Amino acid sequence: MTRRRFIAGAVCPKCALMDTIVVDMDSDKRECVSCGFSEDRPQAPKQSELPTRVNRGLSRRTETPAEAVKLLDPLNFEKK
């Protein structure tokens, strides 16, 4: 069985809806429950330590590091 977690505030790059992105906790893949968009996690966790909210406006155009940081933090908390 696959464990999934919704990413609060994440915007789907395909359909642009918010709060439709889930992350598969086993494979770290992201998927949109609305349009079926799916994507591997773009980068390693420790590289992005800059959770700038300024970047949120750009998240529709490109995969911003800030988005990845937001989803990694809660996951790390749960594993402790």
Which residue, among 21, 10, 1, has the nearest Cα to 60 in the 3D structure?
Answer: 10
For Zn ion, which is the closer residue by CB, 10 or 32? 32
Amino acid at site 64: T
Residue 55 binds Zn ion (CB under 5 A): no
Decide if 70 contacts 63 (C-beta within 8 A).
Answer: no
Tell me the C-alpha distance between 32 and 80, whole Å: 27
Tell me the C-alpha distance between 67 and 60, whole Å: 11
Stretch that binds Zn ion, among 1-9, 35-43, 49-57, 66-74 (CB under 5 A): 35-43
For Zn ion, which is the closer residue by CB, 24 or 45? 24
Residue 29 binds Zn ion (CB under 5 A): no
Least separation in angstroms between CB 14 and Zn ion:
5
Which of 19, 24, 37, 65 touches Zn ion (CB under 5 A)?
Answer: 37
